[in-house]
Structure 1
Amino acid sequence: MTQESGKGIVCIGSVLWDVIGRSASHMRQGSDVPGRITRLPGGVAMNIAMTLVRFGHAPILLTAIGRDPEGDELAAACADLGMDIDHVYRSDDLPTDRYMAVEGANGLIAAIADAHSLEAAGNKILRPLQTGPLGSGQAPFRGHVALDGNLTQTLLEQIARDPAFGAADLRVAPASPGKAERLLPFLNHRRATLYVNLEEAGLLCQTVFGASRDAAVGLLQKGALRVLVTDGGNTATEGDAAGLISQTPPEVLVTRVTGAGDTFMAAHIAAEAGGADRDTALTRALHAAATYVSGDTPL
């Protein structure tokens, strides 16, 4: 698979089972309400890959999945969805990771990401890009690489300086505000595009921003090559040395939030991989995310 074929997009990071509880009620700490609980393939890398599949790509997954029954189910689900799992690291002694979240009508209430196996696997998941067959330090991969912040700080720092990634178009997301600072190695990186929300941008810049445009400016002033900053249903901004582009997403009824940022990122990558200009790519990404949170696309 190559970038030229339009199918060479590598997704590196968490691929796990999402256990999501959703209720139509407004919730607070201690709420006990009726709702639905689902278990679905998830994780940042997985969510990005699923959206890429919907846009006609066959993403290559680099992750860690256990050889336990849950891992076998998950690997089969990835393959059935049309993803390339040939290079996934399957561990005999690490369990398959999980993510658990509770969502109410007022958004995400709480979440816990158990990505310890991914962290424990470390750079074993990168071997196909470092020593072949996808690339190496001498013949680096030249396609898009989507990275998620569920990787450890050490591994992200390694990727930032590894010659095997020296020709890649790196697209990086923090996975959650709690892991935003893991992206610091890419804040001054010459090939990285950062996808963050308003809170994550503030954490990277150690301040509080009131709007996505201010956050984009702040990140660029910190040395970022290119950034995309979202703010829920408010205006999103894409910025680089050529200037800023801001757009407001479509108004929709929000029925889910987990995975919305990943959908935005994947749709943006897919649009640019297909030749879309900056303005068009941002529009497509915002519409894809709005459609996702409205519940009109498959989970």
Structure 2
Amino acid sequence: MAPSHEIAHLAHVELLTPEPEKSLDFFTRVLGLTENGTEGDSVYLRTWDDYEHHSLKLTAHHTSGIRRTALRASSQEALDRRVEAIERAGLGIGWRDGGPGLGPTYLFRDPDGHEMEVYWESEWYEAPPELAPALKNQPQAYPARGVSVRRLDHVNFLAAEVEATTGFVQDVLGAHATEQIRQDDGVIAGRWLTFTNKSYDMVYTRDWTGSNGRLHHIAFATDTREDILRAADIFLENGVFIETGPHKHAIQQTFFLYVYEPGGNRVELCNPLTRLVLAPDWRTVTWTQAERAKGQAWGLKTIESFHTHGTPPVGPG
């Protein structure tokens, strides 16, 4: 099934952190995002190539994790149709004020309990004079600060039941599965989903703790692979814990680097910009348990924490 294109793209996420000042420093000074307003315990941050008000809402909280993921519909009519489909599925929460830069948003949950919102009305960002770009087809001047990530690329959720949860995203929201992992017992352990011609916008991987509603990571795209190599040195100089990489994934062929931000959430830097799904009848690529056991594209073994660390933390400690 091809994407229905009723969902235009992944828009922004709200990330929770028990270390708000340190997390803010990480996302602004180290990653290079720009502040664009505050509200209560939250700070709105944007990547330089985002046309909307913000890419990330960072909120102080007693623990880590993701509170909400926002999707923009492709039209008012598409929004109305998706809301109707969500309500038929019995997972709707209701309408709310979308906040800065947004019109009304409709809140809902996926079957695993992750909270999401979908909207249509959006105020396009207009840079103040000090952030005005030289080229009018760019929303904001390149910040030349830290890593200077270009845009929010994808979200990887953890889910107790990947197949059922991604079935909802496909059937109700209109996503298409581009790649997946099927274990020897037939269980789907991971599935990569797209709403667009990008190779993926959302990922669901199995939560081995059996918990619900947790986050594996959020990912920001860079212009080039070299930006990720440079980022590794920037992280090293700033005492940021590097979990794994730089390296190349076998699945989706994404060049990657994973770190933990000060609040404990995993953040990926990725460079998937050359991977596009242009075939309207794209066939889902399925990886076996044995193929995944080989590790990443160039032989790097997947480290244990990649399967065990998620936010918020569960269990003792």
| Bigger relative contact order (CA 8 A; separation at least 6) | 2
TM-score of the two chains, using structure 1 as the length reference:
0.30
TM-score of the two chains, using structure 2 as the length reference:
0.28
Higher strand share: 2
Higher helix share: 1
